[in-house]
Structure formats: structure tokens, C-alpha cells
Amino acid sequence: MFLTLDPMYWMMVAPCFLLGLLASLWVKMAFAAGQRHATPISGAEAARRILDNAGLMDVGIEETPGQLSDHYDPSARVLRLSSEVYHGYTASAVGVAAHEAGHALQHATQYAPLMVRNLAVPLASLGSGAGLWMFILGMMFSLGWLIHVGIILFAAVVFFQVVNLPVEFNASTRAKAELANMGIFSSEARSSVNSVLTAAAMTYVAATLQAIMTLVYLLMKSRD
């Protein structure tokens, strides 16, 4: 893709890209550290307690293959936890499971940013691929209308990333509060959980900044 060969592009997104790499490394280190702190309940049990305390007994919890493939499926009303998290009696497993349970709590309370994010998913999925290609083809063949369509579609990706930030931070905040209310974790375990959740949040910040800077780059190139 020609934009990745442009030095200006890398000057603009390199800091965000570096932040993303550092955040990813932080997540791995925090998760590894959290695995050294044992907890009295597993990730699945922690998630079940959080859901039940919120009256969400009808939300299921399933084991799913993959590493860190954990997610909440709002259409099926199911928490899907990786085997490591589902069965893990560690601060890392409990933290990840509690975060995903936080998304279920958001869904149950119709948390506005989550509702907006879910509506934006189809357009953002289209914009992440088709948007850039439309922009590139528009630049190659000097088709202004195609350039503008590409920018608009990629702007949907940026919108999704921006809206996703409060969703992820709020889920982590809910997770920390719910785990603290249980009163069954040591201060070391809670500190480790908080580190995992904070590190994970920074990956979303990096992705958002990179998307924003890419959009700025596209706008600048469209005026050349």
C-alpha cells in the first residue's frame, strides 16, 4: 500500500505505533505478573458472581478456544472466556473475566457509548478495508469523489475507535469496583488486576491515536 511508503505517514503515526507496541508489551508483562498471584476463585466464577449480583443470571458463560479471545457477545447474551481465563485461579484470569462481565453490565443498563459503538460496527468494518482502498484508487486515477468516499468511510473507523474508548475504560472501572466489593482478594491481587486492566486500556488508546493520525494524513494528501 503506497501510503505505508510515504515518510510523512510514518512521521505522523510512528509515535502512536510505538505506543501500541509498548502497550502490548505492558499487557503481556502485566498478565504474566498477574498469573503469579493466586485467587480464591477462577475467572469464570468471578464473572458468574458479578453477573448474578447484577441480576443477570440469564447471561451465560462459555469456554472458547484461543488465547485472550475473551469477549461478551451481546446478541447471544453470553460471556466467552478463553480456557486460560475460564479455569484460571489467578489475578490475570479474574481481571479479564471481570472486564468482560463489565460489558454485560453495560449492555443490561443500555450504556449509551456501548449502544452507539454496536451501531457503528458494520460501517467501521467496511471503512477499515474498503475506505483505504477507495482512497488509494481515487488518488491513483484522480477521482475526487472516490477519495472523498474513502475518507468518509475511514472516518467511521475513527468514530468507532473514539466511542470505544469510554466503553473499554468504563468496563474496567466496573470490573475493579465489583471485585473490590467482593472483599475476597488480597491487596496484591487487586493491584495486579488493576495493572492488567490499565495496560489493556492503553492498547485502545494507541489504536485510537493511530486511526486519528491516519485520517489526518488522508485529509492532507487529498488536498495535494
pLDDT of residue 170: 97
State yes or no: pLDDT of 136 exceeds 90: no
Sign of the four-CA dihedral 214, 216, 217, 218:
positive
**Is pLDDT at 3 greater than 70 in this prediction?**
no
Q: So where are the chain's domains?
A: 2-222
Mean pLDDT, residues 113-128: 90
Confidence of residue 107 (pLDDT cuts 50, 70, 90): very high
**Could you read off the pLDDT of 52-69 as tens digits, one per residue?**
999 999 999 999 998 879
Judge whether residue 148 has pLDDT over 80: yes
Classify 67 in phi/psi space as left (phi over 0), alpha (psi -120 to 50) or beta: beta
The answer to whether 120 and 163 are in contact (CB under 8 A) is yes
Q: What is the pLDDT of residue 146?
A: 95
Query: Is 100 annotated as catalytic?
Result: yes
The reply to whether the predicted model has a pTM over 0.75 is: yes
- Distance (Å, rounded) from C-alpha 176 to C-alpha 189? 11
Please report, for residues 56, 76, 129, 179, 200, the alpha-carbon distance to residue 51 in angstroms, rounded to integers and kept in the order given. 5, 15, 36, 12, 22
pLDDT digits (tens, 9 = 90+) for 93-105: 999 999 999 999 9
Neighbours of 100 (CB within 10 A): 22
Q: How far is CA 93 from CA 86, 89, 97, in A?
A: 7, 7, 6
Question: Which residue in 45, 84, 100, 178 is the catalytic one?
Answer: 100
Q: Is the pLDDT at 1 greater than 70, yes or no?
A: no
Average pLDDT, the chain: 91
